[in-house]
């Protein structure tokens, strides 16, 4: 069982020939073990996650601004 996966602090690789982006991640197992892996995304997935991350960043910024008031 895998409880979660974390993103590694590395650049995203893009393979133009395969039209895929690859994000380095670490897979965490319940027994405490970890292993490196890749999250491979097609162009549509990259665009979707870019939009969703932009929205999450905007919500975080708005929450910080509200908290500062």
* Per-residue pLDDT in tens (0 to 9) along the chain, 69 residues: 899 999 999 899 999 999 999 999 999 999 999 999 999 999 999 999 999 999 999 999 999 999 998
For residue 59, the model assigns a pLDDT of 97
The residues with which 7 forms a beta bridge, in sequence order, are 25
Res 44: pLDDT: 96
How high is the pLDDT of residue 69? 85
Asked whether the whole model's pTM tops 0.85, one would answer no
Beta bridge partners of 6: 26
Maximum CA extent, the chain? 49
């Amino acid at each position: 069982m895998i409880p979660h996966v974390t993103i590694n602090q590395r650049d995203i690789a893009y393979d133009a020939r395969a039209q895929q982006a690859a994000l380095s991640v670490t897979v965490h197992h319940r027994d405490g073990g970890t292993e490196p892996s890749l999250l491979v995304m097609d162009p549509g997935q990259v665009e979707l996650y870019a939009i969703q991350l932009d929205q999450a960043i905007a919500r975080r910024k708005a929450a910080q601004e509200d908290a500062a008031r």
